[in-house]
Structure 1
Amino acid sequence: MSKKIGFIDYYLDEWHANNYPAWIEKASGGAYTVAYAYGEIDSPLGGKTTAQWCDVMHVERCESIDALIEKSDCIIVLSPDNPEQHWALCQKPLRSGKRVYVDKTFAPTAQIARDLFALAEENGTPMYSSSALRFSKELAELPEKDVRFVLLSGPGKPENYLIHQIEPMVALLRARPVRVLYAGVEGAASYTIEFADGKLGVANLLVEGPFQTTVKFADGAVVPIAESTETFDRLIAGMVRFFETGEVQVDARETVAIAAILEAAHKAEAVPGEWVAVE
């Protein structure tokens, strides 16, 4: 009998909620299925209502987060484009003791990120969060060597897509972020992040285009990566492993560092050309 996953979302008719159920069932060979869902509001984008979404997806609608937690074996908190909702949506799941995956972007500030991890730890709730871009096939195949510099570029708007470049940057550089510098022109934004130990990362948002990465190692070797593939396949496979074993896939300290960089980056947007400290 398959294990039952509960979705908690701000609103359910969004890309992640629409695609995760089939991907999870495929990745787990049917061992895990999305069986329950709770939406805080109906889609404000003119999409399906919570009831309509549940009907189409063949998922049981729960009228409360409490009811969903009681029925579910493990939980996914979604709201990928509204991270400001994660604090409220996570309060009960992170007290449940059940395994919880929280979708990107984890938290709008570093302090909220720290508080969410503290809440999970206090209640013995295994939990992690990540952007799918951390898990690309190309990054996984890089040699285990010291990385000094990372240059990334990709599509999207800063408020919900900068995470997809900062996540792999932090995973590769493995150092404490210090400060952020922003510069931008029409249709493009650039963020330079200085790390401890003389490391540097640059993230460029180009609105359109593939995710590309250039990595320079301490030994001078440079590896250009033209695209990022298998990102969601590997994210979902890791999520299933987590639900099965309880072993988290991403260190909480990295997730807090990512939140801190994003917080500083958004502050830096208001003062182009000036360094903003990562706190």
Structure 2
Amino acid sequence: MVGLDTSHCVAFTKLFNDPRATGDLGAVDVVAAYPGGSDDIPASRDRVAGFTKAMRESGVEIVDSIDALLAKCDVVLLESVDGRPHLEQARPVIAAGKPLFIDKPLAGSLADAIAIFRLAEKHKVPVFSSSSLRFGAGLAELKGDAKVGEVLGCAVHSPCELESHHPDLFWYGVHGVEMLYTIMGEGCETVVRTHTDGTDVVTGTWRGGRVATYRGIRGGKADYGGAVYGTRGIAAIGKYEGYAPLVAEIAKFFRTHQPPVAASETIELFAFMEAADESKRQGGKPVAIAEVIARAEKEAAAREE
């Protein structure tokens, strides 16, 4: 495990190392960890020592470098709460051929996200990234629910705290956007954002005229939820169920080397969030996803080596 500055590291380790775990989950143990940490983000700097202590007390060996970690493991969980170092942290893991899960946010920029997947493709190493919200009970199944019919759109809400070193939605809004993409899939063409101190509303228009909306909440009660709109009915999106469904998917991925989320979908998801920032910079004008990806691909090319 790389990055001990998030509660995920302790929570995931408890699930993986549970002696009662069976199947794929029972075949994975967290055995070593590199703490990492970012001095300019309090949410990282002020927590890494405490989580490192908890991991050590749980029996996980603490090492002083990623290279030292790679000598002790078969697969890697990249958990650093700060997305900016993820590309550099992923490089040696990918070069070593280790299957890699990268926790949210995948990266600190869309260009870095693209560069990570390009490196993985070049070295033929399986990599995936996802929020735990994608794997809540029944969420993906709503796309094929006969009572809903063909999905025409959705409206999703989630907490949306901001962190100044990341694009606005990357830090926490990614959870809600992950839910949105679980329902809608790829194909968003344009993004429009309305921003206030307490709220963000981001509307995406998909090919064929489908529309989905993300509401990021900073003022008032913040929770996860939403609704799916179909040709036959409207269905509520279920409540958040914790980390267990995601951890089960990670364990399966480590065994099969088959990512449960396509790289192309994750890239578009991050492009959606980057386009939301660009719309904000332009005063709420529509921004084309394709143009955002094209710019980022040029930047990514210089970061692959």
TM-based fold match above 0.5: yes
Structure 1 residues 159 and 244: alpha-carbon distance in aligned structure 2, compared to 1, 3 A threshold: closer
Q: Which residue of 1 aligns with 2:166?
A: none
The answer (yes or no) to whether the contact 2:224–2:240 under 8 Å persists in 1 is no
Structure 1 residues 51 and 257: alpha-carbon distance in aligned structure 2, compared to 1, 3 A threshold: closer
Structure 1 residues 209 and 46: alpha-carbon distance in aligned structure 2, compared to 1, 3 A threshold: closer
TM-score by length of 2: 0.81
SS state of the match for residue 84, structure 1?
coil
Q: Which residue of 1 aligns with 2:245?
A: 234
Q: Which residue of 2 aligns with 1:63?
A: 64
Structure 1 residues 46 and 235: alpha-carbon distance in aligned structure 2, compared to 1, 3 A threshold: closer
Runs of 4+ in 1 over 4 A off after TM superposition: none
TM-score by length of 1: 0.88
1:45 matched to 2:34: no
Q: 2-side partners of 1:258 and 1:41: how far apart?
A: 26
1:274 matched to 2:274: no
1:25 matched to 2:36: no
Q: Which residue of 2 aligns with 1:164?
A: 175
Total equivalences in the alignment: 268
SS state of the match for residue 179, structure 1?
strand
Structure 1 residues 223 and 69: alpha-carbon distance in aligned structure 2, compared to 1, 3 A threshold: same
Q: Which residue of 1 aligns with 2:8?
A: 16
Q: CA deviation at 1:155?
A: 1.4
Unaligned runs of 5+ in 2: 39-43, 162-168, 293-305
Counterpart of 1:260 in structure 2: which amino acid? A
Q: Which residue of 2 aligns with 1:216?
A: 229
The answer (yes or no) to whether the contact 1:28–1:240 under 8 Å persists in 2 is no
Q: 1-side partners of 2:92 and 2:171: how far apart?
A: 24
SS state of the match for residue 181, structure 1?
strand
The answer (yes or no) to whether the contact 1:171–1:254 under 8 Å persists in 2 is no
Q: Which residue of 2 aligns with 1:83?
A: 83
Structure 1 residues 35 and 267: alpha-carbon distance in aligned structure 2, compared to 1, 3 A threshold: same
- In the TM superposition, 1:74-113 aligns within 5 A as 74-80=75-81, 82-113=82-113
Q: Which residue of 2 aligns with 1:134?
A: 134
- In the TM superposition, 1:245-260 aligns within 5 A as 245-260=256-271
Counterpart of 1:8 in structure 2: which amino acid? V
Q: CA deviation at 1:88?
A: 1.1
Q: CA deviation at 1:200?
A: 1.2
Q: Which residue of 1 aligns with 2:297?
A: none
Q: Which residue of 2 aligns with 1:193?
A: 204
Q: CA deviation at 1:250?
A: 0.7
SS state of the match for residue 39, structure 1?
coil
SS state of the match for residue 281, structure 2?
coil
Q: CA deviation at 1:211?
A: 0.8
Q: CA deviation at 1:262?
A: 1.3
Q: Which residue of 1 aligns with 2:194?
A: 183
Q: CA deviation at 1:16?
A: 0.9
Identity, % of aligned positions:
26
The CA deviation string for residues 30-87 of structure 1, in whole angstroms up to 9 with x for no partner, is 432211011223751255267534433321111211111121011001123x111111
SS state of the match for residue 142, structure 2?
coil
Q: 2-side partners of 1:213 and 1:41: how far apart?
A: 34
